[in-house]
């Protein structure tokens, strides 16, 4: 690990994506030096263009399935398409990004003796039999379905992280992210929040898959990034032990049906959109709700502060502005 500067040098893979770009903002705002690595498959330079002239920011276009040689103090590994439309576009590459990407970033962290964060997902729980989902639950995942490239890729990445932790003493942090939304979401990522808002703002019918009774919990992006940073900055134990590696659920335990979300979006946009129903996609989970007891315990009583209506209004403003400019 570099010892000659007080300012941390931090690598964020997938930094031009939705979550990554918000993390970059927070790290730079507190004075860190940040390297953003992204192949721009789903990320976009639009998300980071306000940072390109920042004296402590560097952008590298690179695919994490290939090795990367840098000198940094910490690594946040966020690289991977996260929406079904994007990760099913090239499922083999999605699995490679999760698995080869993890191997390459873990190898880098091992060489540097750097702490490394893995952005895992609630999808490791599959279509859960346990509700709400705790970190002790092993999941109910179809290993050969259309979503498996993402679900199993992330599960394998977790395995690699914990094996590097056990075998080499690597300082890891593994977070399981539940549905997150906010400004800079990709407008065509196929996720319910962006779908519903875009359809409502354009006066189109809002498409609900299934009968709308399936549930999700929606976390505003600022709350999630706060959880990332608190987790990554947990101090080492007095004996030098790296401390709590996770996994840890990060999400909002407030639970809403998909139909309730659609109705909220229509109300907040003032849209005349109607609800239409289509068949449910294969392996789509019927319930999603995190148990965040572990996050509260380890992350200084972390919990989401932004309520759904407030967060949706911010997301609606972002997408409305995006539509105005196009």
Tokens of 189: 């990522």
Point out the catalytic residue in the list 87, 125, 150, 164: 150
Non-local CB neighbours of 176 within 8 Å, separated by 6+ positions: 120, 121, 122, 124, 125, 135, 246, 247, 248, 249, 250, 290
Tokens describing residue 161: 């992280």
Beta-strand runs (E) in 47-170 = 57-61, 74-77, 115-121
Confirm whether 220 is a catalytic residue.
no
Which DSSP state fits 11?
E
What tokens were used for 198? 């875009």
Give the rounded distance of the alpha carbon of 170 from its chain centre: 22
Tokens standing for 8? 């941390």
- DSSP E strands in 99-245: the ranges are 115-121, 172-177, 180-181, 206-209, 215-216, 219-220
Max distance between CA atoms of the chain, in angstroms, equals: 61
Phi, psi of 120 (to 5 degrees): -90, -165
The conformation of residue 280, written as its DSSP 8-state character, comes to P
| CA separation for the pair 47, 29 (Å, rounded) | 16
Closest alpha carbon to 304 in 234, 229, 193, 225:
225
Picking from 252, 290, 254, 286, the residue whose alpha carbon sits closest to that of residue 127 is 286
Q: CA dist 59 to 36, 144, 299, 312, Å?
A: 5, 36, 30, 30
Active-site amino acid positions: 150
């Amino acid at each position: 690990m570099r010892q000659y500067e007080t300012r941390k040098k931090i690598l964020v893979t997938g930094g031009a994506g939705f979550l990554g770009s918000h993390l970059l903002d927070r790290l730079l705002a507190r004075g860190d030096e940040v390297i953003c690595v992204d192949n721009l498959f789903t990320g976009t330079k639009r998300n980071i263009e306000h940072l390109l002239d920042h004296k402590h920011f560097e952008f590298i276009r690179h695919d994490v399935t290939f090795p990367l040689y840098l000198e940094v103090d910490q690594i946040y590994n966020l690289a991977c398409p996260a929406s079904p439309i994007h990760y099913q576009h090239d499922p083999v590459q999605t699995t490679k990004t999760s698995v080869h990407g993890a191997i390459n970033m873990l190898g880098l962290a091992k060489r540097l003796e750097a702490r490394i964060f893995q952005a895992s997902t609630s999808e490791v729980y599959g279509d859960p039999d346990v509700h709400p989902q705790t970190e002790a639950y092993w999941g109910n995942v179809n290993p050969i379905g259309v979503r498996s490239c993402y679900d199993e890729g992330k599960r394998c990445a977790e395995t690699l992280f914990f094996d590097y932790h056990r075998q080499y003493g690597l300082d890891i942090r593994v977070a399981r992210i539940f549905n997150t939304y906010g400004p800079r979401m990709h407008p065509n990522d196929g996720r319910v929040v962006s779908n519903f808002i875009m359809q409502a703002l354009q006066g189109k019918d809002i498409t609900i898959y299934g009968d709308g009774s399936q549930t999700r919990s929606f976390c505003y992006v600022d709350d999630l990034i706060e959880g990332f940073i608190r987790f990554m900055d947990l101090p080492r134990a007095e004996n030098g032990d790296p401390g709590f590696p996770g996994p840890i659920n990060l999400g909002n335990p407030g639970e809403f049906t998909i139909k309730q979300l659609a109705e909220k979006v229509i109300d907040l946009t003032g849209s005349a959109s109607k609800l239409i129903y289509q068949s449910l996609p294969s392996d789509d989970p019927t319930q999603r709700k995190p148990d965040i007891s572990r996050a509260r315990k380890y992350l200084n009583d972390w919990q989401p502060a932004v309520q759904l209506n407030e967060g949706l209004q911010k997301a609606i403003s972002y997408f409305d502005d995006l539509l105005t400019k196009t």
